[in-house]
Amino acid sequence: MDTARFVAFRALEDIDRHGAYPDIALDRALRVSELTGSDRGLTCELVYGCVRRQRTLDAAIDWLGKLPAAKQPPDLRRVLHLGLYQLRYLDRVPGATAVNTSVELAKTCGLGKLSGVVNGMLRSYLRQCGKQGDPLPLPDDAIARLGTLYSFPDWIVQLWRDQHGLETAERLCAWFDRPPTLDLRVNLLRSTPSGVAAALDARGVKSDRVPGLPQALRLRGAGDIRLLPGFEGGWWSVQDAGAQLAAHFLDPQPEETIVDACAAPGGKTTHIAELMGDRGTVWACDRDARRLRKVEANAARLRLGSIRVATGDFRATETLSEIAPGSVDRVLVDAPCSGLGTLHRRADLRWRQSPEASVELAALQVELLAAAATWVKPGGILVYATCTVHPAENDDAIAIFCERHPHWQLQPPPDDNPAAPFIAPEGWVKILPCDRNMDGFFLARLQRAE
């Protein structure tokens, strides 16, 4: 009979050996296991936690072991990660249980001869934990200290320190280590926030309104969202509060023609159509045909008829062959980005991203912005959005666009727009997650001169 810890070990092995994404590795490992209910929950927590906290867990091995983490046999290192994760982060697992199950796991994984090492190192950690404060020794250097304590690569901590100072960098690290919230966007064409909240409440799911966002509900624990009332009926979509700001910022109006340049899977396209009362046309363009089918499925579920899809690279004029350049009221460019504002949602993202990737993405983003400008009519609006907090992909991309397009200017939406209170003195919206308690977002709104 498999245990949650053994299934977690197998998933972590898949990730280490084959570079699998954690959700895919977990899915594979759980499918061939017989785990149910809370055991499956523990497996997920262990896998995501060990991936997210790997730098801190390695630092603990470096401190406790005869060999540093990087020189430990990979299977032993995984068993130690699992044991240390439970000792350090899972209050609900008693220390002795974490140690004993790790020793058993080592034996199951063919590490019988090393089970004494596992026992010794975990017991040693447990003894140190009994003393006051965090026992883990940390580097003196401020960047490496935060990177080790919160488990982030130095370059991300440094990026935040350089932009916002050390204190905010630490708050960002702590925020991104917290479990993500689950927000809904209520489809006002089919329901109301109070109606959805009441239906959820009847199923024992509590929710809260998000101040300033007219369609947002934040859930307090939900389980399988597809089983919640109103999903099939199109009453709501899952969308973080930060992401909901983008379509508001665009401020689409009924009967307009709108282009969503990078639309899949359609979170913002469907929001735009809802805000237009489903009157007018929203062109959903994306180069990924498979993801674009999700836009169609979401539009059908939400009963939205004003959305049309166009498959292809948005930079190629042929992709939108049915409309004329210079004729569109508004364009949204929700650009592919490094996703540094959503690090809490993907445990491995902090390790997969690099400073070089942001530079490459910035080049693509500037090209997408330039392409978007060709579609907008005089006086029309272009909104640029990313879910990252990297200046190369945000402030710098907009600075380059404005320099090359002198007939465009930053233009705020009307004062009563839900996004208006979020506008920074520079004229754009920059959501710092630890200040707003929502995903990190950047939004710039530009108007073409008449």
Which residues are identified as catalytic? 387
Question: Counting contacts by CB under 6 A, is residue 28 touching ligand SAM?
Answer: no
289 burial type by CB count under 10 A (0-12 exposed, 13-18 middle, 19+ buried):
exposed
Question: Counting contacts by CB under 6 A, is residue 265 touching ligand SAM?
Answer: yes
The stretch near ligand SAM (CB under 6 A) out of 146-154, 185-193, 313-321, 399-407 is 313-321
- How far apart, in whole angstroms, are the C-alpha atoms of residue 132 and residue 309? 59
**Pairing of β 281-286 and β 307-311:** parallel
Of residues 7 and 250, the one with the C-beta less far from ligand SAM: 250
Beta-carbon count within 10 A of 205 CB: 19
Binding ligand SAM (rule: CB under 6 A), the pick from 83, 234, 266, 433 is 266
Cis peptide bond prior to 265, omega within 30° of 0: yes
- How far apart, in whole angstroms, are the C-alpha atoms of residue 442 and residue 428? 7
146 burial type by CB count under 10 A (0-12 exposed, 13-18 middle, 19+ buried):
buried
Token output for 418: 């839900």
Question: Counting contacts by CB under 6 A, is residue 288 touching ligand SAM?
Answer: yes
Q: Taking the mean position of all CA atoms in its chain, how far away is CA 426?
A: 25
The stretch near ligand SAM (CB under 6 A) out of 197-205, 279-287, 350-358, 374-382 is 279-287
377 marked as binding residue: no
Minimum distance of ligand SAM from residue 399's CB (angstroms): 21
Binding ligand SAM (rule: CB under 6 A), the pick from 263, 275, 310, 434 is 263
The stretch near ligand SAM (CB under 6 A) out of 14-22, 159-167, 285-293, 433-441 is 285-293
Contact residues for 208 (Cβ-Cβ < 8 A; gap 6+)? 217, 218, 220
285 marked as binding residue: no
- How far apart, in whole angstroms, are the C-alpha atoms of residue 135 and residue 244? 41
268 marked as binding residue: yes
Of residues 241 and 285, the one with the C-beta less far from ligand SAM: 285
Residues 319-348 that bind ligand SAM (CB under 6 A): 334, 336
SS3 category, 413: coil
- How far apart, in whole angstroms, are the C-alpha atoms of residue 342 and residue 226? 22
SS3 category, 3: coil
Question: Counting contacts by CB under 6 A, is residue 440 touching ligand SAM?
Answer: no
Question: Binding residues for ligand SAM, how many (CB under 6 A)?
Answer: 17
Minimum distance of ligand SAM from residue 47's CB (angstroms): 25
Of residues 49 and 242, the one with the C-beta less far from ligand SAM: 242
Question: Counting contacts by CB under 6 A, is residue 267 touching ligand SAM?
Answer: yes
Q: Supply the Cα-derived Rg of the chain in whole angstroms.
A: 24
Number of H helices, E strands in the chain: 18, 12
Question: Counting contacts by CB under 6 A, is residue 76 touching ligand SAM?
Answer: no
Minimum distance of ligand SAM from residue 336's CB (angstroms): 4
The stretch near ligand SAM (CB under 6 A) out of 162-170, 181-189, 311-319, 320-328 is 311-319
Binding residues for S-adenosyl-L-methionine: 262-268, 286, 313, 334
Binding site for ligand SAM (CB under 6 A): 262-268, 285-288, 291, 313-315, 334, 336
